[in-house]
Amino acid sequence: MDDLSRFCCQNSLCADYGTRNAGNLTVCMHYGKSTHLRLLYCRTCRARFV
Ligand SMILES: [Zn+2]
């Protein structure tokens, strides 16, 4: 399982910026074929970041 509780929104303008485990993040996709990087999506500010 992906543990998103360790991540938080990286958009400093977002209301949930820096708030971990706020339930606003979802995993959009995985980069490449064998990388661990994931594209996260913030439902609060609709920003995507790795
Ligand atoms: Zn956000």
Greater confidence (2 vs 11) lies with: 11
Rounded distance from Cα 7 to ligand 1 centre (Å): 11
Rounded distance from Cα 14 to ligand 1 centre (Å): 4
**Block residue for tokens 């609060």:** 44
Question: For 21-37, how does the pLDDT look when each residue is reduced to its tens digit (9 = 90+)?
Answer: 899 999 877 666 666 77
Range of the domain at 40: 1-50
Separation CA 18–CA 1 (nearest Å): 22
pLDDT higher than threshold 70 for residue 14: yes
Rounded distance from Cα 31 to ligand 1 centre (Å): 20
16 in Cβ contact with 22 (< 8 Å): yes
pTM assigned to the model: 0.74
Rounded distance from Cα 48 to ligand 1 centre (Å): 8
- How many distinct structural domains can be found in the chain? 1
Copy the structure tokens of residue 9. Answer: 């929104």
